[in-house]
Each structure stands twice: as structure tokens, then as C-alpha cells.
């Protein structure tokens, strides 16, 4: 691959996640300053949606960090960053509802969520060891070792792929809950959708980068076999 192509590739790979992070941060910052008419905090929104869906046993807890919000299927708990936990904003309501969406997925045994959970330990192992095979394979010019590394890396790409429907579905559930439950008025729903769409782009960006890297390695592997 020509040097100019390599440079362009690395610029693109670096730019995609940076763009996604910039978008989510600017959108979140904008709507974290816009209060909700209901006056409900993110913690209150999460608690009420959980209770409405028969998940009163699932706790809502504050956690350190910015945008560190998540649902832990092992602990069966929703964790909201301090700002989203305490503030009554469009961003807080949207993020809280999204994380509760994952809790609802867990309750309903959502197939993609189960599949992703099953892939977590496999992906953790394969992503750590794949580069060992890839580096040795490239340095020693051993296509067989490189192929093993590529297969191991492909597991990570599969994980990113499965993550997309999990996250998009959670956002879809969040909007339905926010609107049907009366947590947001009609004019606030499009604003919450913007927050959730921006957050989803981080997963799309991660998927795009993973696919590009896999394609690059496949190209190196193909050229190695030809030589």
C-alpha cells in the first residue's frame, strides 16, 4: 500500500471516532442545559420507568465520571453519572431512559443483548491476543499466523456489529417510554432523540473503525500470500 494511502487511512481512522465524540459531547452539553417541563431528574425518570415496567427491584445509583452511564446486567442495576442522576434536563432524561431500555431488554431476554453478553469474555481474550499473532505473522512473513490474528480480530468486529442493534433498540425503547409515560412533552421528544442519535454515533464510529482495520489487515494478508 502506497505511503499516501497509509496516511489517508490513518487520518480517516483517527477522524471518525473524534468526530463521533465531538458530536456526542456538543449535543449532550447543549441539552444538559435545557430543562424538562416535568422537572424530573434523570434518577427520577429512570426509577419511574423501571417501576412502570415491573422492574422495581432494579436500583438506580449514581456513579463517578462524565457520560459513565450504563446498565450492569450482572448487578441488575442502572448507573447514572452524577450530573444525569441529579439534573432535570433533556439530556439526563434521554440518557436515563436509554439505560433503563437495557434493563427492559434484560428482562425480556432480548436476543442481541444475550448474544453480546456471551461474546464479552471471548472478545476480551481475542482482542488482547490477536495482535501477538498479527505482529509475529507480519515480521516473520508467516501468513498462517497472521490469518489466526485476523480471525481473532474478526470476533471483535462481530461484537461491534452485535452492539449496534442493542444500542439502537434501547434508544427506541427510551423514546417510547419517555413519550408514552408523559415524561416529556411533544416538543421535547425531538430534542431527546438528538441526544440519543448523537450517542449512537459513537457505536457506529467504533464499528466503522473496526471494519476498516480488519479490511486493512486482510489486504496485507492477501499481498503477503501473493509475494
Please, how many CA atoms are within 13 Å of residue 221, restricted to the half-sphere of its CB? Answer: 20
Between CA 14 and CA 214 the distance in angstroms is 15
Give Cα 23 distance to the centre of its chain: 14
Angle (CA) 78-82-86 rounded to 5° is: 90
Q: Is 179 part of the annotated catalytic residue set?
A: no
Helix H or strand E segment including 80: strand 77-81
Given 44, 87, 99, 188, which residue is catalytic? 99
Strand partners, 62: 80
Q: Scan for cell 487520518, then name that residue.
A: 11
The residues, any chain, with a CB within 8 Å of residue 26's CB and separated by 6 or more, are 198
Say how many C-beta atoms besides its own lie within 10 A of residue 182's C-beta: 9
Q: Are 111 and 101 in contact (CB under 8 A)?
A: no
In the sheet with 70-72, reading across from the earlier edge strand, the strands are 60-63, 77-81, 70-72
**Catalytic residue ranges:** 99
Amino acid at each position: 500500500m502506497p505511503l499516501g494511502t497509509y496516511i489517508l487511512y490513518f487520518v480517516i481512522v483517527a477522524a471518525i471516532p473524534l468526530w463521533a465524540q465531538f458530536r456526542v459531547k456538543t449535543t449532550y452539553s447543549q441539552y444538559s442545559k435545557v430543562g424538562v417541563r416535568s422537572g424530573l431528574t434523570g434518577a427520577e425518570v429512570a426509577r419511574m420507568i423501571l417501576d412502570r415496567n415491573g422492574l422495581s427491584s432494579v436500583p438506580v445509583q449514581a456513579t463517578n465520571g462524565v457520560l459513565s452511564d450504563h446498565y450492569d446486567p450482572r448487578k441488575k442495576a442502572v448507573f447514572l453519572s452524577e450530573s444525569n442522576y441529579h439534573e432535570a434536563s433533556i439530556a439526563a432524561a434521554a440518557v436515563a431512559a436509554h439505560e433503563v431500555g437495557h434493563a427492559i431488554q434484560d428482562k425480556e431476554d432480548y436476543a442481541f443483548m444475550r448474544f453480546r453478553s456471551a461474546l464479552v469474555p471471548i472478545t476480551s481474550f481475542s482482542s488482547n491476543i490477536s495482535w501477538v499473532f498479527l505482529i509475529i505473522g507480519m515480521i516473520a512473513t508467516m501468513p498462517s499466523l497472521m490469518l489466526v490474528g485476523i480471525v481473532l480480530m474478526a470476533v471483535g468486529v462481530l461484537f461491534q456489529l452485535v452492539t449496534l442493534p442493542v444500542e439502537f433498540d434501547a434508544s427506541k425503547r427510551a423514546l417510547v417510554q419517555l413519550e408514552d409515560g408523559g415524561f416529556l412533552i411533544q416538543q421535547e421528544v425531538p430534542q431527546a432523540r438528538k441526544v440519543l442519535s448523537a450517542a449512537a454515533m459513537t457505536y457506529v464510529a467504533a464499528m466503522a473503525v473496526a471494519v476498516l482495520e480488519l479490511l486493512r489487515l486482510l489486504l496485507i494478508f492477501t499481498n503477503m500470500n501473493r509475494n
